[in-house]
Amino acid sequence: MLDLVIEASALAFHPYVLMYVMLGVLLGITLGAIPGLSGDMAIALLLPFVFFLEPAMAMGLLVGIYKGGLFGGSIAAISFGVPGTPGAAATSIDGYQAKLKGKPSKALHTALYSSVIGDTTSDLVLIFIAVPLAAVALSFGPIEFFALYAFSLMLIAALSQGMVAKGLAVAAIGVLLAMIGRDPITGSARLTFGMPGLSGGLSLIPVLIGIFAISEVVVQGAKLWRRKVDDLMDDVAEQASLLQGYDIRKDQLSWKEFKATLKATYIGAAVGTFIGALPGAGQSLAAFMSYGLAQRFSKTPEEFGKGSLEGIASAESGNSATAGSTFIPLFAFGIPGSATAALFGAAFILMGMTPGPSLLNDNTEIIYALFFTLIFANLVNLVLGKILLPYYSRIAMIQPGYLIPAVFILAIVGTYAANNSVVDVWVLLFAGVLGVTLRLLKFPLAPLVLGFIIGPGAERALRQSMIMGGGDWWVLVKSPIAIGFYVAAVALILLFTFALRAKK
Amino acid sequence: MMTPKMSKMSVAVSAAMISTAMMATSVAASDAESLLGSDPIRIVMPYGAGGSTDITARIIAANAAEYCGTRIDVVSMPGAGGMEGLQFVADAEPNGHTILMADYSATITQTLTEDTDWEVEDWVPIVHLTDWKPTVYVKADHPIQSIEDWVEMAEAEPNTLVFGHADPLSLVHLPLVLLEMETGIENVHLPTTGGGETRTMILGGHAHLGMTLPPSIVSNVEEGEVTAIGVFADERSDVLPDVPTFQEAGYDVSFEAPLLVYTYSDVSDEIQQALSDCIMAGLETETAQTMSSQASAGLNNVQGRESAQQIYRDTTVRVEEVLAAIEQD
């Protein structure tokens, strides 16, 4: 065993491998920060080349890109309110508000630390308890998945305090938007109004960026314009002085602030690790669920949505904590639980290693080396992040006159690049209009996005359950895990209703 | 162990490879080069990245560029159930720089069942890469361990066995429909998001049987987690040589799925031929063959236009028959 560890660490800590990891993290952070581009794209592009690399180096490069990308997504989310990756959508809720209050550096550092903590937790779980967790993940069939989705929807729909009805209403709109496209069971087109471009449904990235970023840009632009028209120059001057007078030294994350976010980070780490291990659940769900739970257990839940560092920490840690555990089903059964896992699976295959139960036995050394690399990449992420964040913080404080058009263009180009699709650009603009409308009517936006993210999975799981149960609704409570989720959902809602009343 | 010398070399090789990907290769003058010019060629793949088709497309991109005289990009366009990818190729300039790589679900089944701008004949196969052999498998401790067990149990209790497959009418679903027609057995058809979800359902005991392609379950079969019970092909699969075909078990059902590279019909004959030649030349190289065998991509018997078009016509007839039969039900 000791020999093995020594040999594996010799592989993993070879200077070239370390170099590839650093290169990968840098590339990942950069790509993740650009909306629409993601680490996954770079990994896909580099796939054929892993064949020509030593496995340890190839792994180092890909792991670096992946982890850098997970954190990088939060940079655009905080700086511009544009989630750079779907996983960063929840981060943008509080992150962007914190930036508007002149605290981009605090927000970005919170995101970095929670991302690294969440990721490391997840890696340790992958390394030490992959097998038992994999067995739990397998027991999630359609019935259990539906219960999980119902639980998260209930948790998040009530996110915005005092707006439960509005929250549920927009969540329903999100689910409805997600139903456009192909019926998951019969495969026929529905709600497409005869438009072939809609037959595959709305893609996640344009909906996400449209709802959050385009609507924000429009609102900001309108504010700017109105101020000019009304000649309220003193107000503009005040805003401008906040930007011009930005002093990064006054915007440092203190130890006390960091400690206050730790509970949220741990919640995110636990939730993210678990959700990451479930095939098909995804980073966005992990981030939103962590956010919802962290708010429930926070001492200052009213700060959530207004720039709470805890909000950022929970979302970002939940998002990043899927990084290690998403490999669990891949290593244990060869099942790619996410798009990234599928790409790593392809990379393993090209290196002559078959993902699945025999992976570890046949390639013990290299997999142990990969474990070291996973942990090391987190350190690189932390160090590179520390170096880069002051610059990103300053970029975040660019004057809106320059920023607004730049974000608009970035959103359109990024959306097109993600799927090479013009339809997606129209969806983006449509989602932007919807976002503006909802903002004007004071509806919360996060439940809509969550409804959109989990809608397809929830519908599929429900209908698969019904097929398996021969149309009998009781099938939904035939699993102890499912019952557990329903009980937990009801208990949480009751608990917080009473807690809220007691406060009043 | 990795020696410093080797690592240096691989760094150099990788740097070289990455830079070749970034700019057009200027190697190997050929007929293809003069016909195709120096603009990059795009292989459009109507699926997400990371699957079997993606790996195969990237093996082509890495090896055929030299022979086609220009860089080859792989573009993943899974939008609109893959239809967006097909639309993109159909709308592209007919200069052979935008080609499609897909199995028959996209070009034949969806064209026949949906309202599209093209007919099945508008897709002209130029390379026949490999044939995928749909395989039925179960969990290793399931009472069903053979084709006979399955048919027997399904006859005894119709519509109780849950069968997981990817999209309805996909290449891992049509063979099931055919077998049910042949034998009269009935199963509960459970659509999944794809091979990964099907495998989760089998291993977790949520579904009884599933269908997939052999390379994706080899590892699970070898570890004794699942049993592959039968292959819908004329011959057994290379990677699962112990698994009988359905024909061997006495059921005349075989439905292999050819993986093809297509141009749209408005591309000239010369360009089609040039593309076909240079892709095949690239896949015959040693590097391509090694990549293929590591990835179980089955590119050891790549065929040109004639074989590709023959198999495309045959497959079209078969799909039409199955669809007609489904409609009658």
Please report residues of B whose CB lies closer than 8 A to that of A187: 81, 167-169, 191
What is each CA distance from B327 to A76, A318, B24, B322, in whole angstroms?
Answer: 51, 47, 49, 9
pLDDT at B44: 94
Which range, of A200-214, B59-73, B241-255, averages the lowest pLDDT?
A200-214
Nearest-CA distance A242 → chain B (Å): 42
Compare CB distances from B55 to A200, A350, A358 and report the shortest one's residue.
A350
Residue whose entry in the numeric block shows the structure tokens 């269908």? B211
Task: Look at residue A3 in the predicted model and tell me its pLDDT.
Answer: 84
Contacts of residue A177, Cβ cutoff 8 Å, sequence gap at least 6: A202, A207, A448, A451, A452, A455
With 0-12 CB in 10 A as exposed, 13-18 as middle and 19+ as buried, what is A422?
middle
Chain B residues within an 8 Å CB radius of A48: 17, 58-59, 61-62, 291
Task: Transcribe A423-455 into DSSP letters.
Answer: HHHHHHHHHHHHHHHHHHTT--SHHHHHHHHHH
Q: Pick from A41, A59, A199, A422 the residue to mutate for testing the B interface (most B CBs within 10 Å).
A: A199
Alpha carbon of residue B186 to chain centroid: 27
pLDDT of residue B1: 36
Strand locations in B88-203 (E): 98-102, 123-132, 135-139, 162-165, 188-191
The residue of chain B nearest to residue A348, with distances taken between CA atoms, is B295
Rounded to the nearest angstrom, the minimum Cα separation between A159 and chain B is: 30
Closest-CA distance of chain B to residue A463, Å: 9
Distance (Å, rounded) from C-alpha A429 to C-alpha A215? Answer: 9
Q: Would you tell me how many other CB atoms lie within 10 Å of the CB of residue B242?
A: 8
Report chain B residues whose CB lies below 8 A from the CB of A201.
Answer: 80
| Residue of chain B whose alpha carbon sits nearest to that of A279 | B197
3-class DSSP state for residue B102? strand
Contact state of A350 with B7 under an 8 Å Cβ cutoff: no
pLDDT tens column, A478-496: 999 999 999 988 887 777 6
Q: What is the pLDDT of residue B34?
A: 65
Q: Do A357 and B220 touch (CB under 8 A)?
A: yes
Residue B120 pLDDT class (50, 70, 90 cuts): very high
Q: What is the pLDDT of residues A316-337, one digit of tens each?
A: 999 999 999 999 988 888 888 7
Residue A292 has pLDDT above 50, yes or no: yes
Which of A128-132, B10-14, B305-309 has the least mean pLDDT? B10-14
pLDDT tens track for A4-50: 888 888 889 999 999 999 999 999 998 888 876 778 878 887 887 88
Contact B55/A186, CB-based, under 8 Å? Answer: no
**Quick check: A357 pLDDT over 50?**
yes
Calculate the average pLDDT of chain A.
86
* Residues 6 or more apart in contact with residue A431 via CB below 8 angstroms: A202, A206, A207, A208, A209, A210, A211, A214, A215
Q: What pLDDT was estimated at residue A4? A: 83
Q: How far is B325 from chain A (nearest CA, A)?
A: 17
Question: Among all residues of chain B, which has the CA nearest to that of A6?
Answer: B1
Chain A CB contacts of B326 below 8 Å: none
Domain spans in chain A, listed from the N-terminal domain onward:
2-503
Top residue of B54, B163, B203, B283 to mutate, by most chain A CBs within 10 Å, is B203
Mean pLDDT of A270-287: 88
B290 pLDDT above the threshold of 80: yes
For residue A241, the model assigns a pLDDT of 62
E strand spans, A55-201:
181-182, 189-190
Give the pLDDT of residue B17: 46
- Selected for mutation to probe chain B from A4, A11, A27, A47 (highest B CB count within 10 Å) is A47
Q: Is the pLDDT of residue A449 over 50?
A: yes
pLDDT at B14 over 90: no
- Quote the CA–CA distance of A108 and A116 in Å, as a whole number: 12
Condensed to tens digits (0 to 9), the pLDDT of residues B220-235 reads 898 899 999 999 999 9
Q: Do B196 and A342 touch (CB under 8 A)?
A: yes
Q: Over the stretch A397-430, which tens digit does the pLDDT of each residue have?
A: 777 778 788 888 878 887 887 777 888 899 999 9
Chain A residue with minimal CA distance to B114?
A: A188
Instruction: Determine the pLDDT at residue A237.
Output: 58
What is the per-residue pLDDT across B182-206, written as a single tens digit (0 to 9) for each? 999 999 999 988 888 898 899 999 9
Query: Residue B28's pLDDT is what?
Result: 41
| All residues at 6 or more sequence positions from A422 whose CB lies less than 8 Å from its CB, including other chains | A416
Which of B55, B114, B190 minimises the CB distance to A464? B190
- DSSP 3-state of B9: helix
| pLDDT (average), residues B55-81 | 87
Residue from B219, B221, B285, B289 to probe the interface with A (highest A Cβ count within 10 Å) = B219
User: Rounded CA gap, A158 and A146, in Å?
Assistant: 19
- Residue of chain B whose alpha carbon sits nearest to that of A369: B1
pLDDT of A63 reads 95
Task: Give the model's confidence band at B11: pLDDT under 50 very low, under 70 low, under 90 confident, else very high.
Answer: very low
pLDDT at residue B80 in the model: 65
**How many Cβ pairs closer than 8 A exist between chain A and B?**
198
The CA distance from A365 to B223, in Å, is: 19
Give the pLDDT band of residue B3 (cuts 50, 70, 90).
very low
Chain A nearest-CA distance from B267, in A, is: 22
Q: pLDDT at position A296, please?
A: 84
**DSSP-derived 3-state class of residue A173:** helix
DSSP-derived secondary structure letter, B263: E
Least confident of A105-109, A413-417, B294-298: A413-417
pLDDT in the model for residue A261: 94
Domains annotated for chain B, with CATH where assigned, are: 24-131+258-328 (3.40.190.150), 135-231 (3.40.190.10)
Q: Indicate if the pLDDT at residue B82 is higher than 80.
A: no
Q: How far apart are CA A46 and CA B21, in angstroms?
A: 9
Angle at A109 between CA A105 and CA A113, to 5 degrees: 175
Closest chain A C-alpha to B30 CA, distance in angstroms: 24
Q: Which of A18, A191, A350, A481 to mutate to test the interface with B (most CBs of B within 10 A)?
A: A350
Residues of B in contact with A203 (CB under 8 A): 79
What distance lies between CA B322 and its chain's CA centroid?
20
* Closest chain B CA to residue A355: B219
Q: What is the mean pLDDT of residues A392-397?
A: 82
> CA B222, B223, B229, B230 torsion: positive or negative?
negative
Q: Which residues of B touch A427 (CB under 8 A)?
A: none
- pLDDT at B23 > cutoff 50: no
Q: Search chain B and give the residue with CA nearest A144.
A: B206
